[in-house]
Chain A
């Protein structure tokens, strides 16, 4: 028995050093050399293109609602300091979904509130725009989700709908490699391109 115990402790120590720290540190080194921008979080001038933000102005396209953010519980309330999807302290900052089931009364009520919110913005929403994502900060929308927002953006900015449609088409990333996943648009990139048109 003692020999099993001794070997187990030695093995645990070797694994701790090698498969923990050597693996993670060498991996970090390689990642930082080869893909520094991605490894640091794909952060640009206005935030990370991989983390959704809370857009409230009708001058910009909006992303999907956050599970804990201003939409889901109360569509019109604003959270102090904006939407902090990944803030490191406090449960409201954890990534995550609503976890509401497909026959949940709460989900019906939340969805109705979100539909009403979009109607006040002059938008007839798609299902993506009234449901929360798995992470709570989905950075993307589908082209259809962007197209239904054209009346809102066009009215607030004065940019012609046809120009907005061209912009959406230009910012649409087709399915990866032509067949994987969905066709989608990064909301931050779309709005940065839109700001250039303003």
Chain B
């Protein structure tokens, strides 16, 4: 779960990481009031999409009138389809240098990794590899001062700035760990006459650990349909084509979409209804897909713990109760496939044995 900048900064504050003084505002009037209080300000749209600065979502103002005008302009904008409900109005800080600091997870090393660079304020992908210091942390020893001194040495940092890092990095690491974060990023990390200040905050919390963070708000970037699928415990992604796809297992669902595209079709969605789904869950998956009004329905079942008779029963049930009047290409093999096929054949529904044939048929049907 990605957090808005202002939420990330609230958490920074909780962990004693310095952030600029700020006000969160919901209309241009409030932005004016905030500027009256804070003086020279920077106004930032609160959206989850990156590159908001380049898109015009960040502005400076030196008086309340200007702040109101800029806030009003930004409220009218949308960023990758998202309009901001809130803006963050922050005091403008005196930045001497922009640095980069983050803690994230290195899957290959199975460890948290500290990323630090003297080149901050730009897209992290644009920082040259040799200018980005990476330090994996063994969780059994945690963040130790020697690691920070070593990171600083490799960056070419010493003296007062090293002292600043020795204060800051343990706090960022503690927050990363205690909040079950996947990413805690400060970019830019501003070097000011008052020391290091987090000028931005990108914090992502592990979705699978949210159950132990009931105090955090819930933020979703999902579409309404994706939210509905989430409630049904289905992995679902909207893709925009006209062939609705339903399969069991993440890998085979991806492979099915790839094959649809390979044969010239356009998949409408990714839907993995999981292994071992019962009739109810299978029916709900089907109903969800039918609700998206696709041109063709492609079902690809390779039953391991998923039973073919259960899928067939669910399909026939939905067909009888709701009606399925679009063309269907159905592949059904694996556990209890004979039972499954005979249930479908009674309803006059043909099935394919191979994934390849079923996908080609679906693409032909979509014409």
Question: Are both chains from one complex?
Answer: no
